[in-house]
């Protein structure tokens, strides 16, 4: 029996079948799907503090607001669900919404369900939450200190898990080695930030106690179990569906699951279906990010650069809650802690720490960037300290080509590769010699130019058991073994004999449907468009398992492989059916050009559709051993993915691709701006199924890595305030920042996957950040000790390294006293105003609530509490963001009628503010000069989204206050009858309103 005689589709860059709809505006993303009439919108009230106790939540006003169906607090939610499962043994609760304490800015505190999103957000502003702020901790090392504020009292500290591992004999290796070389590495927080945000549509059927949830969730579907358990229903009472299209994920959309739970509860309480589409501020502040990590890595090194042992000490920051599947970021690479190198002895200490930042989750590269940044910076350091060529150090340590399949010290089984050959080809075809020449020329001209290298093993198809490596072997024995990576595929034939493929791969834009059509069309000898593919999931209808979904680069190796197996099984059965109809042997049957026929006699053939549909129309004519040919569902799990061994060895992934990158970077001598001159990336991802899609994955991962290397960081103040809440603060690379890399391929098929393919999507997120860092280090210091490089490598960070620290200004700005609550956005300013009134009159006005109400910009009323205390209700805006605040104002240091200090605290839906100012009144003869000096600090949403505008906005608002005072007195800068008239009208208008 032969496969199709025409040129196979697989391996060719056919046009994507997804694209005609997507370029025409006919995609079916979550927010495009039709919803039931009467579906309500959800808006969230979120924490403005990084760490605070919730004293009370008053929903009275919000409940009465127009269009509101329900206002739901964290306490309400706890009546319907239980705490989400945590992946380590620890006495800690993990709720999807804050219950009695908020632990990161943006944490959900309440939900408002209303007839539309505009009304829901209006009402969310009316929910009054009384917080008692606590000291926050955002740095994972500080979070471990004895005196650090503890996020979860039940844990007793912020250390939620610690494990030590020992493989081989690291102590002896370190003792025997002539060199012990180590570095400390700080890896920051960033995220791959899809352009489409989270979205959930949920309904609840009380008659069956069943939730029906559609979300742009990407998997893994092990999370289905987490959600069902939290909702306290059996798995069959949680129908989870995904939309046909998803606007990118890169891991991030795994993190939508707490909102699946919350939306389900909201639908249940509101008694109607609900829909929630996350906005960008919500996404940046409260979806998920990658982990930030502090690492100490040391190597035992021979004189020639050969490494005999590694010692890792990793402190992983998972944010405020350890959400499933964390701490997976720390353990996904556990089998690969030796990278591409043959190192027999390894010691590892892993600590998982909680801080007042957004909980972490899946993110492209998942654990790889953090590991390889440390390991490849170490390789660079070893070469520097021993005076060796950096490529020689890499070469001497590579896993040799004849060693595959190679078992790493920590348990991974590297499936295939020829690392040295791939590297040699990259050096040659990527033009490294020319790049060295460019560097020499640049340096001869006094320019700062560096070359960096990175060598990476890229794991794909995660072992569902790797996360259990976080448990001790005793705990694992008690819980039962976890392992495998079930992939599923169904190939079905309808009564007209056409072919449908269903998989649970949940693509987020990668073109899965096209590749599967290639696989199956080839198998049946059909044209590409004869095969229809569905890749979205409905857990009540489709074949799926916990490993289903779109993560760990599992599509090409696992899902396409399972599809290949299903199509082959069906084809073999159809060959038997055809053989009986054509009166030939099954081994003589060919599938080609839409027909099934005899290999030796082209005239003896039948249409594919006719043979394929036989089982529908005349099942009685099928050969006895065929069964049916209607549908073939395959579940495939690779036997190599075993549970962790008793001594903590873990084959954490099935496939291991190889990447070798090098790049040239020049640092601008004036601006210190780093620029990529040339970037070369060599990939061995096994057999390539669709070359253009593979290169698309490489370019996409590379661009995100360029962002992580140069631009992106989730920025937090020490008080936990979040400072990168817009895409103008969290900078993503544009077409101007992303050069086109030189992409090279070296194919060594995987022996462990049906098609020989390995994953390819994540590698550059692992290799590129450190390759760039190594090049920057080379540019800054060609020899000797390298500077500590912390991403993102911005001009602001590099400038002091090439220009020295910025000199103090000649006329120093007077330092104002800093208050204890440092970390927020600090604003200071001063100004003066002239008014045509006596000091006594101005003094009275400043103490009169009616006058204050008239002149405070955006005031909705000022109440006098006592002689020196006022309450005000004001609307303030910064840029496009406006919000209503409740302010407490206190007067102190009264020196009537000369001076007074005003102190205030304001709290609103947009955040918090506080400050104090000294106002001085001076008699000018025909009026009074008011001078003021203030210092204020702002946190919460305003600080997140309007940080760059705050200084200017504060000046405008405060200036407006004094101009209004001047107008009120009938004087000021705009002196004259018009100003007086305006003042009068202003008073009338205010009077008329109140």
Partner 1 sequence: MPRLTKDEKPAVRFTLNGRAVSPEAPPRMLLSDLLRHEIGATGTHVGCEHGVCGACTVQVDGAPVRACLMLAQQAQGCDIRTVEALAEGPELSPLQAAFREHFALQCGFCTAGILMTLDALFASQPEADEATIREALSGHLCRCTGYAPIVQAALAARNRIKGGPIDA
Q: Which of 4, 13, 115, 794 binds partner 1 (CB under 8 A)?
A: 13
Alpha-carbon Rg for the chain, nearest whole angstrom, is 32
**Cα–Cα dist 290/363, whole Å:** 6
Q: Taking a C-beta distance cutoff of 8 angstroms, is the pair 670, 598 a contact?
A: no
Burial 54-83 (b: 16+ CB within 10 A, else e): beebebeebeebebbbbbbbbebbbebbee
Pick from 7, 25, 37, 474: which binds partner 1 (CB under 8 A)?
25
- Which 3 state secondary structure label does DSSP give 394? helix
Contacting partner 1 (CB under 8 A), which of 2, 5, 19, 892?
19
Of the candidate spans 186-194, 254-262, 613-621, 891-899, the one that interacts with partner 1 by CB under 8 A turns out to be 186-194
For partner 1, the binding residue among 11, 67, 244, 248 (CB under 8 A) is 248
List 433, 477, 496, 728, residue binding partner 1 (CB under 8 A): 728
In the complex, least distance from residue 271 CB atom to partner 1, rounded to whole angstroms: 23
First to last CA, the chain: 90
Give the integer Cα–Cα distance in Å for 322 and 83. Answer: 12
Strand pairing category for 487-493 and 499-503: antiparallel
d(CA 98, CA 84): 13
Closer by beta carbon to partner 1, 369 or else 917: 369
Q: Determine, following the binding rule CB under 8 A, whether residue 851 of this chain makes contact with partner 1.
A: no
| Window 320-339: contact mask with partner 1 (x via CB under 8 A) | --------------------
C-beta closer to partner 1: residue 216 or 590? 216
d(Cα 432, Cα 661) in Å, to the nearest integer? 11
Query: Rounded distance, CA 246 to CA 761, Å?
Result: 17
Instruction: Return the residue of 161, 363, 490, 508 that touches partner 1, per CB under 8 A.
Output: 508
Residue 441 sits at φ, ψ, to 5 deg, of -60, -45
CA dihedral angle for residue 807, residue 813, residue 817, residue 823, rounded to 10 degrees? -60
Choice between 734 and 788, CB closer to partner 1: 734
At 322, is the secondary structure helix, strand, or coil? Answer: coil
C-alpha torsion sign, points 175, 179, 184, 185 = negative
Nearer to partner 1, 122 or 415 (CB): 122
Q: How far is the CB of 685 from partner 1 (least distance, A)?
A: 17
Our CB check for partner 1 shows the closer of 508 and 553 to be 508
In sequence order, what are the residues at sequence separation of 6 or more whose Cβ sits closer than 8 angstroms to the Cβ of residue 64? none
Q: Which is nearer to partner 1, 31 or 53 (CB)?
A: 31
User: Per CB under 8 A, which region of 75-83, 195-203, 316-324, 807-815 contacts partner 1?
Assistant: 195-203
CB of 738 to partner 1, least distance (A): 5
Nearest distance in Å: CB 528, partner 1 = 14
Instruction: Kindly write down the DSSP assignment for every residue of 692-714, as one continuous string.
Output: HHHHHHHHHHHHHHHHHHHT---
Query: Which range binds partner 1 by CB under 8 A, 19-27, 515-523, 590-598, 867-875?
Result: 19-27
Select the span of 56-64, 143-151, 239-247, 846-854 touching partner 1 (CB under 8 A). Answer: 239-247
Q: Which stretch binds partner 1 (CB under 8 A): 386-394, 628-636, 736-744, 919-927?
A: 736-744
- Contact pattern for partner 1 over residues 669 through 708, marking x by CB under 8 A: -----------------------xx--x--xx-xxx----
Query: Which residues, including other chains, have CB under 8 Å from residue 162's CB and lie 6 or more apart?
Result: 349, 350, 351, 352
Number of residues that bind partner 1 (CB under 8 A): 52
- Closest contact distance (angstroms) between CB of 860 and partner 1 is 16
For residue 21, the minimal CB distance to partner 1 (Å) is 8
Which region holds residue 863: left if phi is over 0, alpha if psi is between -120 and 50, else beta? beta
Q: Check if the beta carbon of residue 552 is closer than 8 Å to that of residue 52.
A: no
Question: Cα 109 to chain center, whole Å?
Answer: 21
Q: Tell me which H or E stretch contains 783.
A: none
- Distance CA(641)–CA(546), nearest Å, equals 15
Interactions with partner 1, residue window 930-989 (CB under 8 A): 945
Q: Does 509 bind partner 1 (CB under 8 A)?
A: yes
Determine contact, residues 83/94, Cβ cutoff 8 Å: yes
Q: Is 193 in the site for partner 1 (CB under 8 A)?
A: yes
Residue 411 or 511: the one with the smaller Cβ distance to partner 1 is: 511
Q: Which of 635, 578, 386, 350 is nearest to 471 (CA)?
A: 350
From candidates 20, 303, 437, 985, binder to partner 1 by CB under 8 A: 20
In the list 24, 37, 583, 618, the residue contacting partner 1 (rule: CB under 8 A) is 24
| Interaction between residue 118 and partner 1 (CB under 8 A) | yes
Is residue 26 involved in binding partner 1 (CB under 8 A)?
yes
551 with 362: CB under 8 angstroms? yes
In eight-state DSSP terms, residue 768 is H
- C-alpha dihedral sign at 643, 647, 652, 657: negative
199 binds partner 1 (CB under 8 A): no
Q: Does 768 bind partner 1 (CB under 8 A)?
A: no
Q: Pick between residue 734 and residue 924 the one whose CB is nearest to partner 1.
A: 734
DSSP result, 608-628: HHHHHTHHHH-GGGS-GGG--
Query: Least Å distance between CB 899 and partner 1?
Result: 42
* Residue in 444, 735, 813, 978 binding partner 1, rule: CB under 8 A: 735
Rounded Cα distance, 965 and 962, in Å = 5
434 binding partner 1? (CB under 8 A): no
Q: How far is CA 572 from the centre of its chain?
A: 44
Question: From the CB of 717, what's the least distance to partner 1, in Å?
Answer: 21
Choose the stretch contacting partner 1; rule: CB under 8 A; options: 126-134, 203-211, 312-320, 721-729.
721-729
> Judged by CB under 8 A, does residue 734 bind partner 1?
yes
Between residue 857 and residue 916, which ones bind partner 1 under the rule CB under 8 A? 880
User: Which residues lie closer than 8 Å to 652 by C-beta, 6 or more apart?
Assistant: 331, 332, 333, 334, 335, 336, 411, 412, 459, 462, 463, 466, 469
Q: CA-to-CA distance for 521 and 519, rounded, in angstroms? A: 6
* Per-residue b or e along 195-215, where b marks 16 or more CB atoms closer than 10 Å to that residue's CB: ebbbbbbbbbeeeeebbbbbb
CB 687 within 8 A of CB 425: no
Cα torsion 622, 628, 634, 638 to 10°: value is -40
- The nearest distance, CB 277 to partner 1, in angstroms, is 8
Stretch that binds partner 1, among 247-255, 477-485, 522-530, 804-812 (CB under 8 A): 247-255
Please provide residue 514's backbone torsions phi and psi, each rounded to the nearest 5 degrees: -65, -45
Min dist. Cβ of residue 766 to partner 1 (A): 16
Residue with Cβ nearer partner 1 (433 or 727): 727
Per CB under 8 A, 917 contacts partner 1: no
User: Which of 31, 888, 890, 951 contacts partner 1 by CB under 8 A?
Assistant: 31
CB of 906 to partner 1, least distance (A): 23
The answer to the question of residue 37 lying near partner 1 (CB under 8 A) is no
Beta bridge partners, 349, equal 164, 313
Contact pick of 18, 125, 128, 937 for partner 1 (by CB under 8 A): 18
Q: Which of residues 280-319 bind partner 1 (CB under 8 A)?
A: 280
* Smallest separation (angstroms) from partner 1 to the CB of 825: 18
- Which of 416/681 has CB closer to partner 1? 681
* Contact positions vs partner 1 (CB under 8 A): 13, 15-16, 18-20, 22-27, 29, 31-32, 118, 192-197, 245-248, 250, 279-280, 508-511, 692-693, 696, 699-700, 702-704, 726-728, 732, 734-736, 738, 740, 880, 945
């Amino acid at each position: 029996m032969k496969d199709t005689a025409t040129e196979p589709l697989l391996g060719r860059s056919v046009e994507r079948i997804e694209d005609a709809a997507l370029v025409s505006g006919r995609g079916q993303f979550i927010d495009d799907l039709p919803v039931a009439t009467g579906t309500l919108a959800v808006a969230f009230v979120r924490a403005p503090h990084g760490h605070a106790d919730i004293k009370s939540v008053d929903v009275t006003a919000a409940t009465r607001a127009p269009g509101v169906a329900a206002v739901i607090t964290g306490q309400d939610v706890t009546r319907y669900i239980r705490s989400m499962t945590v992946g380590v043994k620890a006495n800690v609760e993990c709720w999807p919404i804050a219950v009695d304490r908020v632990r990161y800015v943006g944490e959900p505190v309440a939900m408002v369900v209303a007839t539309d999103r505009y009304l829901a957000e209006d009402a969310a502003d009316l929910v009054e939450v009384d917080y008692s702020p606590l000291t926050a901790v955002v740095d994972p090392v500080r979070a471990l200190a004895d005196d650090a504020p503890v996020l979860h009292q039940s844990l007793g500290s912020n250390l939620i898990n610690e494990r030590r591992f020992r493989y081989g004999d690291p102590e002896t290796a370190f003792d025997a080695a002539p060199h012990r070389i180590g570095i400390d590495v700080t890896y920051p927080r960033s995220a791959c930030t899809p352009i489409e945000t989270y979205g959930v549509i949920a309904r609840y059927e009380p008659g069956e106690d069943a939730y029906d949830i559609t979300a742009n969730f990407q998997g893994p579907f092990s999370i289905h179990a987490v959600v069902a358990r939290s909702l306290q229903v059996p798995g069959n009472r949680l129908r989870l569906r995904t939309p046909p299209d998803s606007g990118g994920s890169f891991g991030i959309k795994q993190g939508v699951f707490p909102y699946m739970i919350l939306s389900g509860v909201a639908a249940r309480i509101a008694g109607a279906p609900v829909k929630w589409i996350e906005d960008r501020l919500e996404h940046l502040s409260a979806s998920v990010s990658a982990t930030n990590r502090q690492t100490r890595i040391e190597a035992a090194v021979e004189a020639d650069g050969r490494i005999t042992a590694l010692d890792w000490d990793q402190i992983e920051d998972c944010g405020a809650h350890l959400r499933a599947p964390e701490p997976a970021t720390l353990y996904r690479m556990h089998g690969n802690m030796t990278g591409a190198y043959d190192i027999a002895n390894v010691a590892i200490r892993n600590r998982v720490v909680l801080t007042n930042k957004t909980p972490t989750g899946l993110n492209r590269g998942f654990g790889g960037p953090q590991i390889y940044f440390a390991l490849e910076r170490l390789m660079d350091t070893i070469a520097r300290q021993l005076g060796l060529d950096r490529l020689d150090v890499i070469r001497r340590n590579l896993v040799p080509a004849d060693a595959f399949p190679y078992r790493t010290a920590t348990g991974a089984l590297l499936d295939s590769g020829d690392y040295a050959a791939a590297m040699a080809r990259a050096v040659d075809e990527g033009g490294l010699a020319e790049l060295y020449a460019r560097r020499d020329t640049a340096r001869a001209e006094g320019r700062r130019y560096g070359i960096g290298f990175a060598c990476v093993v890229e794991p794909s198809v995660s072992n569902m058991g790797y996360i259990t490596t976080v448990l001790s072997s005793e705990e694992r024995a008690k819980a039962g073994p976890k392992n495998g990576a079930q992939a599923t595929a169904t190939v079905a034939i309808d009564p007209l004999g056409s072919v449908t493929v269903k998989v649970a791969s949940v693509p987020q834009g990668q073109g899965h449907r096209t590749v599967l059509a290639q696989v199956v069309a080839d198998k049946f000898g059909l044209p590409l468009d004869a095969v229809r593919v569905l890749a979205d999931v409905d857990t009540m209808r489709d074949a799926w398992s916990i490993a289903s979904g779109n993560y760990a680069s599992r599509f090409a190796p696992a899902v396409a492989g399972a599809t290949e197996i299903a199509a082959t099984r069906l084809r073999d059965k159809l060959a038997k059916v055809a053989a009986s109809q054509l009166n030939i042997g099954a081994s003589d049957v060919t599938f080609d050009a839409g027909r099934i026929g005899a290999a030796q006699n082209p005239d003896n053939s039948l249409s594919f559709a006719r043979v394929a549909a036989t089982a529908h129309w005349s099942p009685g004519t099928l050969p006895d051993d065929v069964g049916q040919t209607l549908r073939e569902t395959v579940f495939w799990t690779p036997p190599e993915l075993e549970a962790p061994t008793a001594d903590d060895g873990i084959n954490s992934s099935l496939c291991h691709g190889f990447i070798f990158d090098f790049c040239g970077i020049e640092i601008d001598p004036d601006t210190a701006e780093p620029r990529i001159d040339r970037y070369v990336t060599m990939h061995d991802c096994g057999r390539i199924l669709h070359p253009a899609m593979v290169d698309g994955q490489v370019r996409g991962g590379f661009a995100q890595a360029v962002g992580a290397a140069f631009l992106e960081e989730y920025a937090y103040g020490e008080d936990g305030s979040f400072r990168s809440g817009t895409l103008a603060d969290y900078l993503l690379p544009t077409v101007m920042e992303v050069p086109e890399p030189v992409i090279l391929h070296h194919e060594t098929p995987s022996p462990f996957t049906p098609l020989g393919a390995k994953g390819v999507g994540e590698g550059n997120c692992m290799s590129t950040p450190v390759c760039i860092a190594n090049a920057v280090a080379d540019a800054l210091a060609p020899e000797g000790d390298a500077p500590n490089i912390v991403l993102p490598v911005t001009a602001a960070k590099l400038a002091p390294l090439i220009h020295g620290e910025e000199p103090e200004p000649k006329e120093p700005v007077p330092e104002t006293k800093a208050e204890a609550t440092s970390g927020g956005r600090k604003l200071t300013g001063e100004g003066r105003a002239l008014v045509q009134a006596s000091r006594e009159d101005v003094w009275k006005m400043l103490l009169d609530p009616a006058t204050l109400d008239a002149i405070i910009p955006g005031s909705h009323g000022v109440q006098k509490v006592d002689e020196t205390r006022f309450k005000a209700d004001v609307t303030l805006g910064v840029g496009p963001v406006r919000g209503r605040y409740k302010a407490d104002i206190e007067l102190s240091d009264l020196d009537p009628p000369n001076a007074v200090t005003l102190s205030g605290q304001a709290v609103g839906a947009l955040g918090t503010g506080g400050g104090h100012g000294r106002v001085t009144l001076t008699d000018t003869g025909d009026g009074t000069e008011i001078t003021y000096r203030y210092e204020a600090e702002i946190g919460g949403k305003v600080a997140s989204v309007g940080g760059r505008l705050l200084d200017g906005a504060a000046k405008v608002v405060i200036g407006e206050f004094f101009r209004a005072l001047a107008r009120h007195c009938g004087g000021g800068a705009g002196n004259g009858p018009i100003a007086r008239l305006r003042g009068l009208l202003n008073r009338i208008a205010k009077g008329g309103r109140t």
